[in-house]
Structure 1
């Protein structure tokens, strides 16, 4: 079985990480995730949203492959991290929204991967944490950057410095996840959102993702320029005209993605 595989149904792709028992992010698994998303990008017209989840019952992703740390030196560690950053960027910048469906353990690199997704839904049994300091390291797969988009600085430092685990309810309270479901129902909730997104104007959804991701690090005036350029670019599309006409005529729009 592939370490990461995908299927597409009704314009929604499901990417499943399969590295039992805990879906640890060793190098082959990271590369498999990257390849799955690159393949999906080549056939992006077949989908409108993606759900990312972990195979098995124990974990979304429980973290990194610790055995590989023993032989690392500064040069090899830097290469490893930079390569990981590229993998995570492929997920974060994917053309369509990516929804993480999280169950079980979501630790370290797994939580960093989840933060690359646009939306995170968690099962009530999910557990979250940055336990890296227990190994005398810290989150190095983008965690010290992306976490600050979601957590207050003090809360983030508390999680990193203590290495302690939090529940899904705490993750919801902190802003790490957007919804908590009953155990066994997180995939249904994620797919419900994905199918809802798939019914919306695809050009508008893709442009919105691009604007949001670009603008979060830009000063206000630069962000407004990016926003206005992307919005104005939609004005020549069939879908923008169709959306307006359908609203006026009180009917469902028929979007063509062009």
Structure 2
């Protein structure tokens, strides 16, 4: 793998782990870091490279959003490019053929929380805090955080989170259906690792189809259109050697 300055990225036995590595800034994302994350994601998501991706943060934070010092000095052109690259980053996660787990170890705020929301599953340490505080800067979330939250929870809760700009505990996020599981402090890596191994055992073609079926842009299509797409996908899967083998295996065990 390429050596990076602001992140680390390793692939071991099919499980890729991308770690934000600017702990002195609570992993705040500057332009270099965004470029490196995108580069690493492009490698991880190449077909046949990895079967599961984990995104984590080093130190006390997952990611505390954009690097405000750099952010505040951007020209309009730099700002627009930063936003465009952000959309590319989130799309690489959401549109990947493999599942991604966000391992939220500490603060996941602003853009950091948006990256977690782009992942398929979020596992958070008990002491983690998450939120979208942009309103305190006179801004709104710019990376699709509000839209992704609407895919997970009701509009009332989304308005609360954006209007108040508060941070929420891992247990509250689990209660609202945003976080998949809460791990005891010090046990996050173990819980995420076990989940990654479980996902790795799922048939790759079925996982790919599930991700495509539930990709946010697709869920906005008319209900009948979504049903049609689902029917086409399950028919295609049914005729694959993998499904034939697993169905045969299941029926033989049931005898």
TM-based fold match above 0.5: yes
Does the Cα contact within 8 Å between 1:127 and 1:165 map onto a contact in 2? yes
1:77 equivalent in alignment to 2:79? yes
Choose which of 60, 63, 66 in structure 2 pairs with 1:64: 66
| Equivalent position of 1:216 in the other structure | 219
- The residue number in structure 1 matching 2:31 is 27
RMSD: 1.7
Q: SS of 1:23's equivalent?
A: coil
Q: Does residue 36 of the first structure (1) align with residue 40 of the second (2)?
A: yes
1:127-156 superposed Cα distances (whole Å, 9 cap, x missing partner): 011111111111111112111112211111
**Are 1:52 and 1:98, in contact at CA under 8 Å, matched by a contact in 2?**
yes
2:113–2:132 CA contact under 8 A, matched in 1:
yes
Q: Distance in 2 between matches of 1:196 and 1:185?
A: 17
Matches within 5 A, 1:211-250: 211-213=213-215, 215-250=218-253
- Please say if residues 111 and 143 of structure 2, whose CA atoms lie closer than 8 Å, have aligned partners that are also in contact: yes
Deviation at 1:73, TM superposition (A): 5.0
Residue 200 of structure 1 corresponds to which residue in structure 2?
Answer: 202
Q: Relative to 1, partners in 2 of residues 1:129 and 1:243: Cα closer, same or farther, differing over 3 Å?
A: same
Q: Is the 8 A contact 2:97 2:207 kept in 1?
A: no
Counterpart Cα distance in 2 of 1:61 and 1:55: 9
Distance 1:37 1:75, change over 3 A: closer
Distance in 1 (CA, whole Å) between partners of 2:61 and 2:11 is 22
Counterpart of 1:6?
Answer: 9
How far apart are the structure 2 equivalents of 1:207 and 1:8? 23
- 1:35-92 per-residue CA deviation (whole Å, 9 max, x = no partner) reads 11111123x3243211111122x00111111012323455543332122111111112
CA contact (8 A) 1:37 1:94 kept: no
* Residue 153 (structure 1) aligned with residue 193 (structure 2): no
Note the residue ranges of structure 2 that are not aligned, 5 or more in a row.
none
Equivalent residues, number: 249
Q: TM-score scaled to structure 2, two decimals?
A: 0.91
Secondary structure at the counterpart of residue 137 of structure 1: coil
Match for 1:168 among 154, 170, 195? 170
Moved more, 191-200 or 73-82: 73-82
Change beyond 3 A, Cα 1:73–1:9: closer
Q: Deviations over 1:66-120 (max 9, x none)?
A: 0123234555433321221111111121110001111110100000000000000
Q: Displacement of 1:215 after TM fit? A: 3.7
Unaligned 5+ runs, structure 1:
252-258
Which residue is 1:87 aligned to?
Answer: 89
Alpha-carbon distance, 1:241 to partner: 0.9
